[in-house]
Amino acid sequence: MEKMTETIGFIGLGAMGNPMSRRLLAAGYTLIVFDKRKETVDALLREGAGEAHSPVEMAGKANRIITMLPDSQAVEEVVLGPQGIIQSFAPGSILMEMSTSSPYSNRMIAQALEEKGIDMLDAPVSGGVWGAGAGELTIMVGGKKDVLEKVRPILACLGSKIFHLGIHGNGNIAKLLNNLLSASLQSASSEALMVGLKAGLPLDTFLDVLRSGSGKNYSVEMKIPNFVLPGKFSPGFAIDLMNKDLDLAMEVARLAGVPVPCGALAQQIYRLARSEGLGQNDTSAVIRIWEKWTKMEARSASEQR
Ligand code: NAD
């Protein structure tokens, strides 16, 4: 019943926002979209979405808005800027900020919106482009529980696991620490695989061992088979975006006063990957650092022919 009275605005139609907004359309929601790249908007208009030419125009028409933007700078511009959502969003409306962004910036934004009677949740996600298309994202929510309950059906359309972690910004903290761990595992998995190859182990069988043994993780189970072996490093989760997340995670750790030696190493490895020109590749392309050092490539036989 609620669905009929909700108009959802979606801002940021990139690798994640595109499949997420398509899911909302397919579920029958009335959807209005905006992105500063016109070509991404046009594809969704053809599928039945309405268009807004700015965040302020969107906020005048929608009572729910989702942002899926690269970083906090973009989120602040879209929400608080002169053409921002805050200028026209009605009291009682809800912003779901689903980007991986700064918890401290989102707490400031939530405060500014609250002064106008507008609610906000930080609701960053994990699960990648595949999870976005399948509605299988993990969603980490910070903000008021009763606000979450109002938009739970919308979020349930996008993710199969929804966790409420407490106050504004806590969803972001959980997401950033997840990525700190993910970057460490991806680096360590790449290193182990490439040492094995250089030492003469057969690629596919050794990868099967890593997927079965006590070192198994998302990188060896999903990223290496689907991105590295075929040598297809896009689209996915860009190394540039992971660099942003690691910097934010280190800020969380610094403010919490906890040393993070493993995370600091992963941060340096991902900076190195960006310096090597890999910024626009999926995070799994970090393995190319070791491929360069070993002068070998971890590709499946069919891709090497
Ligand atoms: P992306 O770069 O593919 O998409 C971002 C979109 O935002 C682009 O279409 C861009 O044109 C648009 N945009 C940027 N600034 C804008 C502005 N000021 N106004 C309007 N539109 C603007 O990024 P993505 O991979 O879709 O990631 C989006 C967010 O989700 C990031 O915070 C990322 O860290 C996070 N994330 C990504 C993945 C993944 O696998 N790609 C997974 C989980 C979380």
Peptide bond into 55 cis (omega under 30): no
Residue 90 phi, psi (nearest 5): -75, 150
Q: Are residues 155 and 15 both part of a single domain? A: yes
Mutate-to-test residue for ligand 1 from 237, 239, 248, highest number of ligand atoms within 8 A of CB: 237
Residues 6+ apart with CB under 8 A from 170: 103, 122, 140, 142
Quick check: helix, strand or coil at residue 46? helix
Tell whether ligand 1 has an atom less than 6 A from the beta carbon of residue 19: no
Question: Would residue 2 count as lying in a domain?
Answer: no
Q: Are strands 94-97 and 64-67 parallel, antiparallel or unpaired?
A: parallel
Domain's final residue, options 127, 151, 167:
167
Q: HSE on the CB side for 163, CA within 13 Å?
A: 14
So what's the pLDDT on residue 1?
43
Q: Are residues 92 and 193 both part of a single domain? A: no
Q: What angle (nearest 5°) sits at the alpha carbon of residue 73, between those of residues 70 and 78?
A: 85
Burial (CB < 10 A; 0-12, 13-18, 19+), residue 219, is buried
Tell whether ligand 1 has an atom less than 6 A from the beta carbon of residue 158: no
Q: Are residues 13 and 141 both part of a single domain? A: yes
Tell whether ligand 1 has an atom less than 6 A from the beta carbon of residue 102: no
Q: Is 175 a catalytic residue?
A: yes
Mean pLDDT of successive 10-residue stretches along the chain, which has 305 residues: 76 96 97 96 95 98 98 98 98 98 98 98 95 98 98 98 98 98 98 98 98 97 96 91 98 98 98 98 98 97 54
Domain's final residue, options 167, 186, 204:
167
So what's the pLDDT on residue 249?
98
So what's the pLDDT on residue 305?
34
So what's the pLDDT on residue 236?
85
Question: Would residue 87 count as lying in a domain?
Answer: yes
Q: What angle (nearest 5°) sits at the alpha carbon of residue 36, between those of residues 35 and 42?
A: 55
Q: Are residues 147 and 191 both part of a single domain? A: no
Residue 208 alpha carbon to ligand 1 centre in Å: 33
pTM across the whole model: 0.95
Cβ 122 vs Cβ 155: under 8 Å: no
So what's the pLDDT on residue 301?
72
Domains held by the chain: number: 2
Q: Are residues 80 and 158 both part of a single domain? A: yes
Q: Are residues 189 and 281 both part of a single domain? A: yes
Q: Are residues 261 and 188 both part of a single domain? A: yes
Q: Which of 3, 61, 116, 175 is catalytic?
A: 175
- CA pair distance 79, 111, nearest whole angstrom: 12
Q: Are residues 203 and 297 both part of a single domain? A: yes
- CA pair distance 42, 34, nearest whole angstrom: 10
Residue 16 alpha carbon to ligand 1 centre in Å: 7
Mutate-to-test residue for ligand 1 from 22, 35, 226, highest number of ligand atoms within 8 A of CB: 35
Residue 177 alpha carbon to ligand 1 centre in Å: 19
So what's the pLDDT on residue 103?
98
Tell whether ligand 1 has an atom less than 6 A from the beta carbon of residue 78: yes
Cβ 204 vs Cβ 196: under 8 Å: no
Q: Are residues 205 and 81 both part of a single domain? A: no
DSSP secondary structure string for all residues of 87-150 = GTPPTT-EEEE-SS--HHHHHHHHHHHHTTT-EEEE--EESHHHHHHHT-EEEEEBS-HHHHHH
DSSP secondary structure string for all residues of 205-255 = HHHHHHHHSTT--HIIIIIIIIIITTT---SS-BHHHHHHHHHHHHHHHHH
Residue-range definition of the domain harbouring residue 25: 7-167
Question: Would residue 1 count as lying in a domain?
Answer: no
Question: Would residue 91 count as lying in a domain?
Answer: yes
- We report the CATH number of the domain holding residue 195 as 1.10.1040.10
Question: Would residue 160 count as lying in a domain?
Answer: yes
Question: Would residue 237 count as lying in a domain?
Answer: yes
Q: Are residues 83 and 200 both part of a single domain? A: no
Residue 10 alpha carbon to ligand 1 centre in Å: 12
Q: Are residues 126 and 29 both part of a single domain? A: yes
Tell me which residue has its CA closest to atom 21 in ligand 1.
35
- CA pair distance 209, 122, nearest whole angstrom: 38
- We report the CATH number of the domain holding residue 107 as 3.40.50.720
Q: Give the number of other CB atoms < 10 A from CB of residue 42.
A: 12
Domain's final residue, options 167, 196, 227:
167
Q: Are residues 264 and 154 both part of a single domain? A: no
So what's the pLDDT on residue 202?
98
